[in-house]
Chain A
Amino acid sequence: MTLNVAHWLYIVFALGAVGLYLLLPRRKSQGNRVGLALGALAVAALLVVPALRIGAPGGHNGYFCLFSAIALLASARVVTHTKPVYSALYFVLAVIAVACLLVLLEAEFLAVALIIIYAGAILVTYLFVIMLAQQSGAPIYDRTAREPLLAVAAGFALMAGISSQAAEQHASSRATPVVATAVGSVATPGIPTGNTATLGTVLMTRYVVATELAAVLLLISMVGAIALSKKQVPPEEPIPAPPLGLAGREVQPF
């Protein structure tokens, strides 16, 4: 067989890369529809193998195709839309599709946490900053991309490398199926079993130090964000002028 899975994936990725290149904002924004059509064609060609197995028993192939297509197209619009507000809203769509995929992967807690943290907290912050720093009209730096050809080529090279390895693994794992072993979920009497309970048990036993470190990291980042963006409040009473020779020694950040 000359045309194996890896070659087919390369063709699909090349198609998607051309579509992405046409979609990236440029001075003369033609080829937008062509790029979108090419990208959609690439996603459809990529998903044709899972889609062929939609009727197969014991699978969520239909849901996988649907949510993957939504996630990929929404992510493509995040990186190509000329208006940052729309980028952020497309990102919400991508996050919701990814959360649905996580539910398919039986990671329910992670899926809900993803929606709450991303769509609930991070995106609101992003939108807040976008509104704060909004300029009238579409500024030039939103309408032009920086080296789109090289960036798309870098993405294509990354995908080609990963997919050749993944296809190789796929072929070898077809030959010798991996025997799955349950290591992390040791059933203890009195402790409820289940995905979320197991996750909590692992977090609180094996990874308790990492969990504490994550909490400390969040605290540090909160302090850092406040220190970075705090506004210089003017003092109530006028500061007496510094003695001659000391003026200008201390440079205020603003």
Chain B
Amino acid sequence: MPGLTEYIILGALLFALGLVGFLSRRNLIVMFLSTEVMFQGVVINAAAFARFHHHVEGQAFGLFLLVIAAVEAGLALGMAVLLFRRRGTLDAEAWAGMRG
């Protein structure tokens, strides 16, 4: 069966895909969808460590990750709605003035 390394590389690939999306897309909603893709990679990693180290704690961490993802999605979408009401666009570049 596929070993731990295969699952780690798969999880890292999902994380990297999400990272590329978060860095390069301009739509706020797609940016947050990319963070959810990153979460998928991390959940795979946690479950793979749980499986290959015969330890259930990885799955517990996976569940907490789901909680964090739900919290993040709720707040991020609330913020996206707020920002959309302010500027009438979902473009992240519209808020470039907040750059320090």
Using CB atoms and an 8 Å cutoff, list the residues of chain A in contact with chain B: 9, 16, 20, 24, 46, 49-50, 58-61, 64, 68, 71-72, 75-76, 78-80, 84, 87-88, 91, 94-95, 98, 101-102, 105-107, 109-110, 113-114, 117-118, 121-122, 125-126, 129-130, 132-133, 135, 139-142, 144-148, 150-152, 154-156, 158-159, 162-163, 166-167, 169-170, 173, 178, 180-185, 195, 198-199, 202-203, 206-207, 210, 214, 217-218, 220-222, 224-226, 228-229, 254
16 new A-B contacts at CB < 8 Å, known A110-B59, A152-B24, A195-B59: A61-B2, A72-B14, A72-B17, A79-B24, A95-B40, A102-B47, A126-B33, A129-B29, A133-B81, A146-B92, A151-B19, A154-B23, A169-B5, A180-B53, A199-B59, A210-B64
Q: Which residues of A contact B68 (CB under 8 A)?
A: 217
- When chains A and B are docked, how far (Å) is the Cα of A87 from the Cα of B31? 11
B93 to chain A, nearest CB (A): 7
Chain B interface residue count, CB cutoff 8 Å, equals: 72
Using CB atoms and an 8 Å cutoff, list the residues of chain B in contact with chain A: 1-10, 12-21, 23-27, 29-30, 32-34, 36-37, 40, 43-44, 47-48, 50-57, 59-60, 62-64, 66-71, 73-75, 77-82, 84-85, 89-93
